[in-house]
Amino acid sequence: MLPQFARRYHRADLARRYRYVFVVTYGRSGSTLLMGLLNTIPGYRIRGENGNALYRLYQAQAVLDGAHRRHGGDESRSSRNPWYGAHAWRPSAFRRALLDAFVADVLCPRPGDRVLGFKEIRYTEAHLEDLTGYLDFLRKSFPASKIVFNHRLPDDVARSAWWAEHPGSLERVQAADRRLSAFPADARHFHFHYDRIDDSLDNIRELFAFLGEELDEARVRATLDTRHSYKPAARGAGGTAAPTTPRGTRRLRRLARRVVRVARRR
């Protein structure tokens, strides 16, 4: 075997060595908190967003597979054919290599990990048209995987952070929530509702039972008491990010209070 291919074959089917949990949702749904809750489980490493990178890999392998089926016949053996060489493509090997690279270099497992995954908010129709096809790809590519759809009341989402800055946000959030709700709950799909979190921890217990995991109440309550949220970057002089240390935050708060006092005097 050529040395340059040794590493690829050494980690072949890395994607099948683990179990997976994928959190499917939209922005401001409480998905960062959900990620934190999942990471209280020993052996879980659920990463944050990756800009929908895996969806791009799904598109790449789908394009290659379709083109191979259409143009990879004997005629592509000729150097006079516009699809010359398509007969030699290996779409299945290409797909496995993409998946293994994603697991190794994006999910980045560590010793002791047994369940990997990530949460992603880019599942609105504007971000991802072929949701059904993509979820099917996830299930087939990661056979030992489960999908958790995360929901929050659309009215609350539409008033939160960047959503509140755009007209029509409520309708877009409602459409996104309906889109996810259309997938029935079963052995591989679970619908988690942020708004049902309360002191009983009942809906978190249901989630952990779905995953076949024990709930560590102390760790879960500690996670619920810790802020998990998007923090918009305040801009400093020259367009650089303002300090996010506690001292910098206190300065910003004092400045905001002074502005309010001046405004009231007027």
CATH number for position 187? 3.40.50.300
Q: Are residues 96 and 214 in the same domain?
A: yes
Which tokens hold the place of 243?
A: 């300090």
Range of the domain at 136: 3-232
For the segment 58-91, what is each residue's pLDDT rounded down to a tens digit? 999 999 999 999 999 999 999 999 999 999 999 9
Domain annotation covers residue 180: yes
Burial of 75 (0-12, 13-18, 19+ CB in 10 A): middle
Residue 158: pLDDT band with limits 50, 70, 90: confident
DSSP 23: E
Q: What is the pLDDT of residue 5?
A: 46
- What mean pLDDT value characterizes the chain? 84
Q: Considering its fold, how many domains does the chain have in total?
A: 2
Of 39-43, 200-204, 210-214, 250-254, minimum mean pLDDT range: 250-254
Cβ neighbours for 59, distance < 8 A, ≥ 6 positions apart: none
Strand-pair category, 115-120 with 44-47:
parallel
pLDDT at 205 over 60: yes
What percent of the chain is predicted at pLDDT more than 90? 64
**Between vectors from CA 48 to CA 216 and to CA 194, what angle results, nearest 5°?**
55
- What are the structure tokens assigned to 240, written together? 């650089």
DSSP 226: S
The H or E element spanning position 19 is strand 19-24
| 3: pLDDT strictly greater than 50 | no
| pLDDT of 199 above 50 | yes
Q: In terms of domains, do 103 and 55 share one?
A: yes
pLDDT at site 167: 62
Q: Map residue 250 onto helix, strand or coil.
A: helix
Same domain for 194 and 247? no
Q: Which of 112-116, 186-190, 248-252 has the lowest mean pLDDT?
A: 248-252
pLDDT value for 257: 52
Contact 148, 23 (CB under 8 A): yes
Contact 38, 21 (CB under 8 A): yes
Helices 217-224, 31-38: inter-axial angle, 10-degree rounding: 150
Distance CA 219, CA 130 (A): 37
Whether residues 142 and 257 fall in one domain? no
Q: Note whether 227 and 260 are same-domain residues.
A: no
- 145 and 261 part of one domain: no
Give Rg (Cα) of the chain: 23
State residue 53 phi and psi, 5-degree precision: -60, -40
- Per-residue pLDDT of 215-266, as tens digits, reads 999 999 999 988 776 554 443 333 333 333 344 444 444 544 554 454 445 4
Average pLDDT over residues 34-43: 97
DSSP string, 117-178: EEEE---STTT-S-HHHHHHHHHHHSTTEEEEEEE--HHHHHTSGGGGGSTTHHHHHHHHHH
pLDDT of 97 higher than 90: yes
Residue 148 token pair: 């958790």
DSSP H or E run through 24: strand 19-24
Whether residues 247 and 214 share a domain: the answer is: no
- The pLDDT, as a whole number, for residue 230 is 55
pLDDT at position 195 over 60: yes
- Predicted local distance difference test score (pLDDT) of residue 231: 54
Range with the lowest mean pLDDT among 41-55, 203-217, 246-260? 246-260
Based on the domain organization, do 262 and 170 belong to the same domain? no
Instruction: Tell whether 30 and 54 lie within a shared domain.
Output: yes
User: Do residues 175 and 250 both lie within one domain?
Assistant: no
pLDDT at 113 over 90: yes
pLDDT tens, 117-142? 999 999 988 888 899 999 999 999 99
> Do the domain assignments include residue 237?
no
**Residue 155 has what pLDDT?**
80
Q: How far apart are CA 220 and CA 168, in angstroms?
A: 35
Could you tell me the CA-to-CA distances from 172 to 54, 83, 95 in Å, in that order?
23, 41, 33
Q: How many CA atoms, within 13 angstroms, populate the side-chain half-sphere of residue 36?
A: 16
CB 18 within 8 A of CB 108: no
